[in-house]
Amino acid sequence: MADEDTGPILITGGTGFIGSYLAMRLLEKKGNEHEQVLLFDCNPDVRRLTGFKERYQKVSNRITFVQGDLSSLELVLALFEHKPKSVFHLGALLSAGADANPTLGFQVDTLGTRHVLEAARIYGQRQNMDPVKVVFPSTIASFGLFIAAGQKVKNEDIQVPTTMYGVSKVTSERLGEYYQRKGDFSKSWVDFRAVRFPSVVGAARGPGGTTVYSTLMIQQPAQNKPYEAYVAQDTRLDIIYVEDAVSALIQLHDAPKESLKRRVYNIAGIRNADGQAPQASDIEAAVREQKPDASITYKVNQQLSDTVRSFGVLDDSVAREDWGWTGESFGLQKAVRAFFDDVKNYPDRIKAIELY
């Protein structure tokens, strides 16, 4: 991906949970010694990057931070003065925050995506270059309640979201496909590519999601803190470790356009030996392998629990067929070990967050 004669890779939400891991992966990748990243965020929390300590110091001179608001087209247009060669559009208000303030959720998540797509279109056309790649993370929450709890969700299953976050993700998927289709016979407006993730777990995730318990069940014990989960022990949830989520984003970015038969792809998460998504009790057991005396208890919040139980599990067979996605490399035990290592080695990345 790297070329020292081209501009940086733009990551919106670049100091966030997934964005920080993505930035480090791009900068540390062998052969990417000249790669630069441009990190755009409304409220940059640079601790998620500086907390990588010596790893961050080695690449810090190739990172540019820009503070701004995705809901401002003027600010998003200004980003393209840096001449980014591609975009990972991760910036968003998460589910709980978007539903608590649906107007802000719409402005950031829906209008923000439209602004990124429009800025990429204008920039590409003015430069008379190939369409700018815009890689976007959607979510299992985009399917809503149409899918029965625990049911395998196919790539083209109907999407009937019930939250502003889910509505914005579906809208963004369709907008991206529209910008992909528009243009003359030889060029699209943008080269849009998207993945739908299950719940992403990893150190330094922020608050705001109904599935955050899946991260906190690991993070709190790793910090020698107790955790009370708001779901029952037998609650299943499709989860993926953050490093696998980053791999999916990069692999889709790098996939030859000729291999893409569609523009949005499901990405499945961790599976037990029986092919099922892990239960909360499975996560607890993996945690106890690392910390036998972990204090994990359960007190069901019915509203949050019902929402979690409504999710299906993603079928990523078309991603495997179209662009060679090989599935997750972090099983549950490996993911929990890596998570504990991150907490131990980079504690400054983690800030106290609201617990549900």
Task: Summarize pLDDT for 232-271 with one digit per residue, the tens.
Answer: 999 999 999 999 999 999 999 999 999 999 999 999 999 9
User: Has residue 336 been placed in a domain?
Assistant: no
Contacts of residue 126, Cβ cutoff 8 Å, sequence gap at least 6: none
User: In the predicted model, is pLDDT for residue 182 greater than 50?
Assistant: yes
Please tell me the predicted confidence (pLDDT) of residue 208: 65
Residue pair 277/313 in contact (Cβ under 8 Å)? The answer is yes
User: Has residue 280 been placed in a domain?
Assistant: no
User: Has residue 29 been placed in a domain?
Assistant: yes
User: In the predicted model, is pLDDT for residue 356 greater than 60?
Assistant: no
CA distance 201 to 231: 16
User: Has residue 4 been placed in a domain?
Assistant: no
CA distance 241 to 274: 19
User: In the predicted model, is pLDDT for residue 203 greater than 90?
Assistant: yes
User: Has residue 229 been placed in a domain?
Assistant: no
Phi, psi of 18, deg, nearest 5: -75, -40
Range of the domain at 22: 9-200+239-269+313-329
CA distance 140 to 266: 8
Helices (H), the chain: 17-28, 47-50, 54-59, 73-79, 95-100, 102-105, 112-127, 164-181, 213-222, 242-254, 280-290, 302-309, 317-323, 332-345
CA distance 12 to 295: 36
User: Has residue 351 been placed in a domain?
Assistant: no
Q: How confident is the model at residue 352 (pLDDT cuts 50, 70, 90)?
A: low
User: In the predicted model, is pLDDT for residue 9 greater than 60?
Assistant: yes
**Nearest by Cα to 307 from 206, 213, 203:** 213
**Nearest by Cα to 91 from 76, 74, 81:** 76
CATH classification at residue 82: 3.40.50.720
Name the token pair of 256.
């030859």
pTM: 0.94
* CB neighbours of residue 273 within 10 Å: 6
Contacts of residue 168, Cβ cutoff 8 Å, sequence gap at least 6: 92, 98, 105, 106, 109, 110, 113
Q: How confident is the model at residue 100 (pLDDT cuts 50, 70, 90)?
A: confident
Q: How confident is the model at residue 310 (pLDDT cuts 50, 70, 90)?
A: confident
Q: Which residue has the tokens 């990057």?
A: 49
CA distance 50 to 58: 11
User: Has residue 211 been placed in a domain?
Assistant: no
Domains in the chain: how many in total? 1
Name the token pair of 3.
């070329």
User: In the predicted model, is pLDDT for residue 354 greater than 60?
Assistant: no
User: Has residue 127 been placed in a domain?
Assistant: yes
**Nearest by Cα to 6 from 119, 86, 120, 122:** 86
* pLDDT tens digits, 159-173: 999 889 999 999 999
